[in-house]
Chains A and B, each alone.
Chain A
Amino acid sequence: MILSTELRGKHMGFAWGQGNIFVYETLFKATGSGSPFIHEVRKDEDIYSPILRKLFNESHHIFVGLQTIREDLPSKNKKPQFVSISKNYRSVIRACMEELQQVAVSTKNAEMSVQYGNQVSILLAIELIWNLCEVLFIDAAPAGSLLLHLLDWVRLHKADVDEKARDVLQSDSPAEHRDYWDVVVSYVLQGRLDEARQMLGKKATLTPAANNIFKMMDNLLSKMPFYNPGGTQTLTEFDVKWRHWHEEVDRCLQDNSFASNQHLEVLCKILLGDEDTLLEHKDLLGTWYHFLVSRLLFCHPTVKPTELHYYAQSCMTMFLDSRSAPEPLDSILLAAFEFDIHQVIKDCSIALNNWWFVAHLTDLLDHCKLLQSHNLHFGSNLREFLLLEYASGLFTHHSLWQLAVDYFDHCLEFGRVYLELQIERVPLDTERKALKVLRICEQRQMSEQVRSICKIMAMRALRNNRLGSALSWSIRAKDAAFATLISERFLQDYCAKGTFSDLDLIDNLGPAMLLSDRLTFLGKYREFHKLYGEKRFKEAAKLLLSLMTAKIAPRSFWMTLLTDALPLLEQKEVIFSADQTYELMFCLEELTSSLNTPSSDSDKSMQEEDVELTKVELLRLALSRNLAMAIVKEGTVET
């Protein structure tokens, strides 16, 4: 929430961030003092709630499992799988809800309690809608079982009946509890006739005089037929049976059998499905959909899915006062009864502030092949659009971005593009996080991103003077230009300090050495040092010469190389052959001629020039001496 009191009356500027807006005070005129604060307006607070995070993580797990269901199975076998996945999602929602409920009750902070309460009610609504969608769309129960499922649905979402019943049963005299008849009626309204009979039995024992009518009611209740989907009875047979029962109940009512007991008469009327009686118990029903299901149970238990929406519309109108407008939840449920999936999704998207629900539900429905390819303006289908929105929202979270990667993977059209854009913006605080991000990019062959991430890490290492680390990052990215840069730094360091850092890295470059010329030179130069250290002078000499003649070494480094050659030239034993010495002299001449050109730095101090000259002198002397010794040695005939 924006701190509106502070900012009222002031000019505001804003800048879009990722998933949020930065709002700051600005001044259109240059006078006055501004405020140094920047306010962050976050679009979606839910992903920061620790309890809801569990919802996101668990549902991610289910989502990934769903995507990997094999496509080649016939759809008949897949339906139970989809139903069970839907149940998984719902149980995750329920678990979250229960936890939120516990926290809402136990927290001392009133504001938080209200917030938790809100979240609980939103989750309740979500679960209600999901359950209905599961019954109607995924399970797609036919007539007969449809009503049974709807009954289950209503029973699940009207938990207060059990509470009341518990209160009544635990009291001293249940039959005389003031809620007694409410409980009985509620049981009947939900089709829980066995429990209703049990309750009635308690009253019956109390009033032995009215035993007859209680027995009659008990009889009626026990005989009410319920459709058994797994049984041998067909729907028509069930319908016939049900009509007989219905007529029997009607006869009882017409005979005024229950006239002596007002409550039992009400029960009888309910069993007949009398609308007015049902509407009298609005408070027990609570919602129009409960009214709908109860009405269907006692009027038309063989309702077909296609007929549902007539009843739904009429029930809703009957139940709600004409003055009050239907709430968003009501219109969503109505759309569901009308089998208008798109309307359901659309309404839910508008009503909820988080894409979680619509994204996952749409994905599941899409897997059930229930969504026609409903192409949106920019080409991708509805499922992909919603998943992309949801995943983009996740990416703004400092921690949940890893979940979003899997979501993008399963959006075939645009997922990769989104991922490429987003993954570069993940802040890389530690090497370990960078490694994880890199692994994600490498698995998906996103070489651009790999390069850019490695470059970031390499620059950071370079800034902290960790040259070896920087080099290894640039090798991983196969970034030749950067590798060249770092090799230059290594060489500069060597010139400055006389030693190499990170020797083991350079020693063991292996084939990575070929990444860049400068890097190859660095590796070979280090090899020269190693050979020298192992006193393999001849090989060292050859290597040194090849570095210069093959033009691997940069011209700027030749002086250093020649200086390195000095100790080899000064050895007692002749190491450089005559030919090699000639070549060295040639290199020296090339070097000095380029040094003497007028383009050389004129701001070199006199001292430096002296040093240069001395070096060249020494070299010339050493070279000539070596040449002499070499010619002598080569000319000598061994006797």
Chain B
Amino acid sequence: MENINAKYVSQKISKTRWCPVSYSSLQQPEVFATGSWDNEDNKVSIWSIGNHNNSGLEDGFEGDPQILCEHKHGGDVLDLQFLDQERMVSASSTGAVTIFRYHPNTHTISVLQHWARAHSYPCDNAPCTALVCSSPEIVTVGEDGRIVVFRADQEGAVRVIGEMRTRMLPPHKESSLKLSVVFVRECRQQHNSRGDLPKDHGALKFDLFIIFLYRAPLHCVDRHPNQQHIVATGGQDGMLCVWDVRQGGTPISLMEAHSAEMWEVRFHPTNPDHLFTCSEDGSLLHWETASHSEMPSFLQGGRNSSVISHGALTPAGGNRPLSSAWLCGDSGKGCLETTHMLPSQTMSVNSLDIIGQCLVCGTDGEAIFVNRHVPV
């Protein structure tokens, strides 16, 4: 926790996302975007924590985020994703979906495309609650219960699917032709449904089927980066659930993570034994499973607590060597350690993102925390 400092930014942050770095260079990410909410004028901003050539920052903290540029945004930013290294898409509470382009040379942001009423009620605006992109497709979902698919280069919506209220997971390209997108339904009881979108000739077919139910509304979902069948969810009751999609029904493990709604859950993209969750109660937890070789886990700073997981369902097929540590719900088998990553008494942490060893998160206390030395 010594490595984490708060930067107060005068806007409540609803989403923070690292700008993707090319995997060929082993760089740590340096630029991130934030979206604000609950302001009279909301903004989408780009920040940098790299070394600054022009400003003499000897007295500032190393890695203190500096704002590079910002752009006005109509309505709260409800979701923000990067399409590629320069373009990002935002979902707004007015129902609009906008593509922004960041010009790193001039440090400006311009609007590339704007779909003003992607989601709407007949007489009102419907907030667009989440979006997912896999360039060039963008799939958005809104409170009006429709799923809309856009293409980054086309004007109108490609496809509208109605009658659902869902949130989205990041897609995973299984092959160059197939996109799998996972949806989470947002009503009192929850479904976690997986839709496959086989794509041929530009037309999108769409099948939706329901896999399992949970007793409280879910707010966030994330998929294991390597093992596609493992999904982690978090919801209104603050419980972290790990599911196996192949076997619907009940979650593999249920862990009491937070005392209030969990807003985001993220597997580490390259080191999936680590999981991060953030919540309304102001804490950001770093979950780590020990791998089967029982390497000791060294955790720096912060408070540690071992978590008891209950509701375990032994996976069918027991001890298959390739099964991930996450699927071992029994606390005896694999050890699960959690660490608090933020100083206590912060306000609700709305969003987090992690690439490599860099973690960024934003809170309702109008602060951004960046940690460049996360032990993964």
Q: How far is the CB of A127 from chain B (nearest CB, A)?
A: 18
Residue in B126, B185, B188 with the greatest tally of chain A CB atoms within 10 Å: B188
Write the chain B residue with the least CB distance to A431: B143
For the complex, is B197 an interface residue (Cβ under 8 Å from A)? no
Contact between A61 and B346 (Cβ–Cβ < 8 Å)? yes
Asked, given contacts A57-B366, A402-B347, A464-B144, whether A50 binds B40 with beta carbons under 8 Å apart, the answer is no
Q: How far is the CB of B124 from chain A (nearest CB, A)?
A: 6
Contact between B188 and A472 (Cβ–Cβ < 8 Å)? yes
For the complex, is A435 an interface residue (Cβ under 8 Å from B)? yes
Residue in A53, A439, A464 with the greatest tally of chain B CB atoms within 10 Å: A464
- A54-69, CB < 8 A from B: 54, 57-58, 60-61, 64-65, 68
Give the CA-CA distance A574 to B185 in the complex, in Å: 41
For the complex, is B35 an interface residue (Cβ under 8 Å from A)? no
- A156-204, CB < 8 A from B: none
- B320-376, CB < 8 A from A: 345-348, 364-367
Contact between A51 and B10 (Cβ–Cβ < 8 Å)? yes
Give the CA-CA distance A504 to B189 in the complex, in Å: 8
- B117-152, CB < 8 A from A: 121-124, 126-127, 129, 143-145
Q: How far is the CB of B93 from chain A (nearest CB, A)?
A: 5
- A528-556, CB < 8 A from B: none
Q: How far is the CB of A19 from chain B (nearest CB, A)?
A: 14
For the complex, is A377 an interface residue (Cβ under 8 Å from B)? no
Write the chain A residue with the least CB distance to B217: A472
Contact between B366 and A54 (Cβ–Cβ < 8 Å)? yes
Q: How far is the CB of A393 from chain B (nearest CB, A)?
A: 17
Contact between B121 and A464 (Cβ–Cβ < 8 Å)? yes
Contact between A430 and B187 (Cβ–Cβ < 8 Å)? no
For the complex, is A497 an interface residue (Cβ under 8 Å from B)? no
Give the CA-CA distance A222 to B38 in the complex, in Å: 61
Give the CA-CA distance A435 to B367 in the complex, in Å: 21
B244 — which chain A residues lie within 8 A by C-beta?
Answer: none
For the complex, is B313 an interface residue (Cβ under 8 Å from A)? no
A51 — which chain B residues lie within 8 A by C-beta?
Answer: 10
For the complex, is B213 an interface residue (Cβ under 8 Å from A)? yes
For the complex, is B107 an interface residue (Cβ under 8 Å from A)? no
Residue in B40, B121, B189, B215 with the greatest tally of chain A CB atoms within 10 Å: B189
Contact between A433 and B38 (Cβ–Cβ < 8 Å)? yes
Give the CA-CA distance A50 to B9 in the complex, in Å: 8
A323 — which chain B residues lie within 8 A by C-beta?
Answer: none
Contact with B along A410-451 (1 / 0, CB 8 A): 000000000000000000011111011001000100000000
For the complex, is A399 an interface residue (Cβ under 8 Å from B)? yes
Give the CA-CA distance A399 to B187 in the complex, in Å: 27
Contact between B38 and A398 (Cβ–Cβ < 8 Å)? yes
Q: How far is the CB of A498 from chain B (nearest CB, A)?
A: 16
Q: Given known contacts A443-B260, A502-B187, A504-B191, what 5 new A-B pairs fall within 8 Å (CB)?
A: A399-B12, A464-B144, A469-B143, A508-B215, A512-B188
Where the two chains meet, the residues of B that have a C-beta atom closer than 8 Å to any C-beta of A are 6, 8-12, 14, 37-40, 76, 78, 93, 121-124, 126-127, 129, 143-145, 163, 165, 185, 187-189, 191, 210, 213, 215, 217, 236, 260-261, 280, 345-348, 364-367
Where the two chains meet, the residues of A that have a C-beta atom closer than 8 Å to any C-beta of B are 50-51, 53-54, 57-58, 60-61, 64-65, 68, 398-399, 402-403, 429-433, 435-436, 439, 443, 463-466, 468-469, 471-472, 475-476, 501-502, 504-505, 507-510, 512
14 example contacts (A-B, Cβ-Cβ < 8 A) are as follows A50-B10, A51-B10, A57-B365, A399-B12, A429-B93, A430-B127, A436-B280, A463-B123, A464-B124, A464-B144, A469-B165, A469-B187, A508-B188, A510-B189
